[in-house]
Copies of this chain bind each other. A is one copy, B any other.
Amino acid sequence: MLGLKRNYIQDDMKRSDILKICALAAPLQACTQEPAHPNIIFFLVDDFGWVDTEVAFGPEDYPQNHRHDTPNFLALSRESAILTNAYACPLSSPTRTSIMTGLNSAHTRITNPLASVRGTDNTCPGEVLETADWNVNGLNPAVPGYEDNVERSFYATPFVRLLRDAGYYTIHVGKAHWATAGTPGSNPYNMGFNVNVAGGVVEFSKCGYRSEDNYGNLAGGRAVPYTVQNMTEYYGSGLHLTQALTREALKTLEYPVQEGKPFYLYMSQYAVHTPIQDDPRFYSKYLERGMDEGQARFASMVEGVDVALGEIRSWLEEKGIADNTVIIIMGDNGGNSENLAKGGVRHTQNKPLREGKGSCYEGGTRVPMIVYWKGHVTPGTMLNTPVICEDLFPTILDIAGVEERPTVQTSDGESLYRLLTDGSAYVAGLHPGSRREAYATVVPESISGLDPQRYIVSHYPHQWKPYPIEDIDYLSSIRSGDWKLVYRMLSRSLELYNLADDIGEQHDVAAEHADIVAVLAKALSERLRNWNAGMPVCKGSGLPVPYPDELAAALCDTTDIAANRDI
Given contacts A195-B194, A236-B182, A252-B189, contact A225 B230 (CB under 8 A): no
Q: Are A232's CB and B194's CB within 8 A?
A: no
Q: Are B218's CB and A220's CB within 8 A?
A: no
A131 at the interface (CB under 8 A from B): no
Q: Which residues of B contact A230 (CB under 8 A)?
A: 187, 196, 200, 229-230
Given contacts A181-B232, A229-B230, contact A220 B217 (CB under 8 A): no
Q: Which residues of B contact A220 (CB under 8 A)?
A: 221
Q: Which residues of B contact A181 (CB under 8 A)?
A: 214, 232-233, 235-236
Q: Which residues of B contact A251 (CB under 8 A)?
A: 189-190
Residues A192-243 near B (CB distance < 8 A): 194-197, 200-201, 214, 217-221, 223-226, 229-230, 232-237
Q: Are A200's CB and B232's CB within 8 A?
A: yes
Q: Are A190's CB and B223's CB within 8 A?
A: no
This chain's copy number in the assembly? 2
Q: Are A118's CB and B225's CB within 8 A?
A: no
Given contacts A219-B225, A230-B229, contact A236 B190 (CB under 8 A): no
With CB as the reference atom, state the residue of chain B lying closest to A218: B225
With CB as the reference atom, state the residue of chain B lying closest to A167: B259
Q: Which residues of B contact A190 (CB under 8 A)?
A: 233, 251
Q: Which residues of B contact A197 (CB under 8 A)?
A: 189, 196
A183 at the interface (CB under 8 A from B): yes
Q: Which residues of B contact A394 (CB under 8 A)?
A: none
Distance in Å: Cβ of A244 to nearest Cβ of chain B: 10
With CB as the reference atom, state the residue of chain B lying closest to A199: B230
A467 at the interface (CB under 8 A from B): no
Distance in Å: Cβ of A498 to nearest Cβ of chain B: 46
With CB as the reference atom, state the residue of chain B lying closest to A233: B187
How far is B233's CA from A164's CA once the two chains are assembled, in angstroms?
20
A184 at the interface (CB under 8 A from B): yes
How far is B234's CA from A225's CA once the two chains are assembled, in angstroms?
14
A248 at the interface (CB under 8 A from B): yes
With CB as the reference atom, state the residue of chain B lying closest to A118: B236
A268 at the interface (CB under 8 A from B): no
Q: Which residues of B contact A225 (CB under 8 A)?
A: 214, 217-219, 223
A8 at the interface (CB under 8 A from B): no
The one of B118, B201, B221, B232 that contacts A182, using a Cβ cutoff of 8 Å: B232
How far is B197's CA from A232's CA once the two chains are assembled, in angstroms?
13
A186 at the interface (CB under 8 A from B): yes
With CB as the reference atom, state the residue of chain B lying closest to A248: B189
Q: Are A201's CB and B232's CB within 8 A?
A: yes
Q: Are A182's CB and B217's CB within 8 A?
A: no
Most buried by B among A184, A220, A229: A229
Q: Which residues of B contact A232 (CB under 8 A)?
A: 181-182, 186-187, 200-201, 226
Given contacts A181-B235, A186-B232, A229-B230, contact A221 B221 (CB under 8 A): yes
Q: Which residues of B contact A226 (CB under 8 A)?
A: 217, 232
Q: Which residues of B contact A194 (CB under 8 A)?
A: 194-195, 252, 255
Q: Which residues of B contact A248 (CB under 8 A)?
A: 189
Distance in Å: Cβ of A127 to nearest Cβ of chain B: 30
Q: Which residues of B contact A234 (CB under 8 A)?
A: 182
Q: Which residues of B contact A255 (CB under 8 A)?
A: 164, 194
Distance in Å: Cβ of A521 to nearest Cβ of chain B: 41
Ordered by A's residue number, 27 sampled pairs between the chains whose C-beta atoms are within 8 Å are A181-B232, A181-B235, A181-B236, A182-B233, A182-B234, A182-B235, A182-B236, A183-B233, A186-B233, A187-B230, A187-B232, A187-B233, A189-B197, A190-B233, A190-B251, A195-B195, A196-B197, A196-B230, A214-B225, A217-B226, A219-B223, A219-B225, A220-B221, A221-B221, A223-B225, A226-B232, A229-B229
Contacts A182-B235, A196-B230, A200-B229 known; 11 new A-B pairs at CB < 8 A: A164-B255, A181-B214, A181-B233, A181-B236, A182-B232, A187-B230, A194-B194, A201-B232, A218-B225, A220-B221, A221-B221
Interface residues of A (CB under 8 A from B): 118, 164, 181-184, 186-187, 189-190, 194-197, 200-201, 214, 217-221, 223-226, 229-230, 232-237, 248, 251-252, 255
Q: Closest 5 A-B residue pairs measured CB to CB?
A: A223-B223, A229-B229, A187-B233, A181-B235, A217-B225
